[in-house]
């Protein structure tokens, strides 16, 4: 419950003078306006300003502390207001409903200034006006930082959604979206485009013999080798399980087969060594299916042809490249 103090004490005046909004302000000249304001106590846990309501007051924290929740659904994130801080000015200036909820973090005393008195203080004191501008500038700077941090957080979430956690490569979700744009661009520019699907041969045996932890290390090592073999303009993704996809922009069918063959040889000639409980040396091979973009193709056509070519490579003995 809010308890309004009928009369301000000398200590109250000192606290008001020490606040940011009244810093370097001649209090004596504004005494008649300050006396119009209300001084009240608010207990810990009580809400001072509710979100999405019409606000008619500007508040100055004299003692205690407040919490400002910018999002009512995220209760663990808030901004603290300490003695000398202010709140409520933005909703007064733009006339919009409040966007945040302000709650007393501890038993607090505040000075409440109504909208009319606030404007009279602005007109009566240049120092008060300057301080109010500083308060607004800081608030806007904090809002900008909140936006920047929000965008960074959004980018982090997008990265998490688009990147395979094991290999660090892009995942199938990213590839499906990005590949659509690549296909459209290639068709519009009348340029070649190729897709390679690669699958580790007998990967289930590796998991069965050495365990899934070693299997994960094999996938990570293979991804590293593949990354070293592709060109800067090529795109590599983990397509799922032990399968990888390579998008090769501006690449003819013959060039795509050459790149796929180079990748196959690089994997086949690599000895993977792991030291867990015991030392393991593992040879792995890849089967690869290659296809190229044709007029009227979409992502499903390309994936189907590449998958059929990959299946043919498996059927014809594995550790080989087939085109489709």
| Higher local confidence (pLDDT), 113 or 78 | 113
Q: In the predicted model, what is the mean pLDDT of the chain?
A: 84
User: Does some domain include residue 195?
Assistant: yes
Name all contacts of 207-212 with Cβ < 8 Å and 24+ positions apart. 210/274, 210/280, 210/282
Q: Where are the alpha helices (DSSP H) in the chain?
A: 10-18, 31-34, 89-94, 115-124, 126-162, 172-189, 203-210, 212-229, 253-268, 299-315
Give tens-digit pLDDT for 284-305: 999 999 999 888 888 888 899 9
Residues 139, 215 within the same domain: no
Please give the Cα distance from 123 to 41 (Å, whole number): 28
The answer as to whether 31 is a domain residue is yes
CB 225 within 8 A of CB 160: no
Domain count along the chain: 2
Examine residue 165 and state whether it is found in any structural domain, yes or no: no
- Whether 136 is in a domain gets the answer yes
**CATH number of the structural domain spanning residue 300:** 3.30.70.270
The predicted-structure confidence for 110-164, as pLDDT tens digits, reads as follows 999 988 888 898 888 888 888 888 887 777 666 556 556 555 656 655 566 678 8
Residues 188 and 133 in one domain: no
228 and 133 belong to one structural domain: no
33 lies in which domain range? 3-155
Q: List, by residue number, the catalytic residues.
A: 242
Residue 70: phi, psi to the nearest 5? Answer: -75, -25
Starting from the edge strand earliest in sequence, which strands make up the sheet with 47-49, in order? 47-49, 101-104, 66-69, 79-81
Query: 253: number of CA atoms within 13 Å, CB side?
Result: 9
Percent of the chain with pLDDT over 90: 29
* pLDDT band at residue 198 under the 50/70/90 scheme: very high
The arithmetic mean of pLDDT across residues 262-287, rounded, is 84
pTM of the model: 0.55
Cα gap 262→267, rounded to integer Å: 9
In a domain, 211, yes or no: yes
* Domain final residue pick, 101, 126, 155: 155
**Distance between CA atoms of residues 151 and 149, nearest Å:** 5
Would you state the pLDDT for residue 143? 58
| Residue 5 pLDDT grade (very low, low, confident, very high; cuts 50, 70, 90) | low
Based on the domain organization, do 132 and 204 belong to the same domain? no
CATH classification at residue 86: 2.60.120.10
Question: Is 163 contained in some domain?
Answer: no
Instruction: Decide if pLDDT at 94 tops 90.
Output: no
pLDDT digits (tens, 9 = 90+) for 27-41: 788 888 888 888 888
Note the pLDDT of residue 86.
87
The residue among 225 and 13 whose pLDDT is bigger is: 225
Residue 280 has pLDDT above 90, yes or no: no
Which pairing describes strands 321-323 and 286-292: parallel, antiparallel, or unpaired?
A: parallel
Examine the fold and report which residue of 120, 155, 190 is the final residue of a domain before the chain moves on.
155
Q: What is the mean pLDDT of residues 247-270?
A: 92
Same domain, 136 and 214: no
Strand 86-87, strand 57-63: pairing: antiparallel
Identify the pLDDT of residue 162: 74
Does a structural domain hold residue 9? Answer: yes
> Which of 9 and 63 is assigned the larger pLDDT?
63
Query: Does residue 84 belong to any structural domain of this protein?
Result: yes
Last residue of a domain, one of 128, 155, 182: 155
Residue 314: pLDDT band with limits 50, 70, 90: very high
């Amino acid at each position: 419950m809010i308890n309004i103090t009928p009369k301000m004490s000398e200590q109250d005046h000192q606290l008001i003078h020490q606040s940011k909004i009244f810093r370097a302000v001649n209090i004596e000249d504004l005494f008649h306006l300050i006396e119009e304001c209300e001084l009240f106590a608010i207990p810990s846990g009580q809400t001072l300003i509710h979100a999405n309501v019409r606000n008619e007051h500007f508040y100055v924290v004299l003692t205690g502390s407040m919490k400002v929740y910018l999002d009512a659904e995220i209760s663990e994130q808030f901004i603290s207001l300490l003695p000398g801080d202010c709140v409520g000015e933005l909703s007064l200036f733009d006339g919009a409903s409040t966007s945040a909820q302000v709650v007393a973090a501890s038993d607090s005393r505040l000075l409440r200034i109504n909208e009319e008195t606030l404007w009279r203080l602005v007109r009566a004191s240049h120092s008060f006006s300057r301080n109010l501008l500083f308060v607004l500038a800081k608030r806007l700077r904090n809002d900008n930082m909140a936006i920047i941090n929000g965008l960074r957080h959004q980018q982090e979430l997008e990265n998490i959604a688009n990147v395979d956690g094991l290999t660090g490569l892009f995942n199938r979700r990213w590839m499906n979206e990005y590949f659509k744009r690549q296909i459209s661009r290639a068709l519009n520019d009348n340029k070649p485009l190729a897709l390679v699907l690669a699958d580790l041969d007998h990967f289930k045996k590796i998991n069965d013999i050495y365990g899934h932890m070693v299997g994960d290390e094999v996938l990570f090592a293979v991804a590293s080798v593949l990354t070293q073999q592709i060109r800067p303009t090529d795109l590599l993704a983990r397509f799922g399980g032990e399968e990888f996809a390579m998008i090769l922009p501006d690449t003819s069918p013959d060039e795509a087969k050459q790149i796929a063959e180079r990748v196959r040889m690089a994997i086949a000639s690599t000895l993977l060594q792991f030291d867990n409980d015991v030392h393991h040396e593992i040879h792995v091979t890849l089967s690869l299916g290659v296809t190229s973009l044709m007029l009227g193709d979409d992502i499903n056509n390309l994936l189907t042809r590449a998958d059929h070519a990959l299946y043919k490579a498996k059927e014809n003995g594995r550790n080989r490249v087939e085109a489709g």
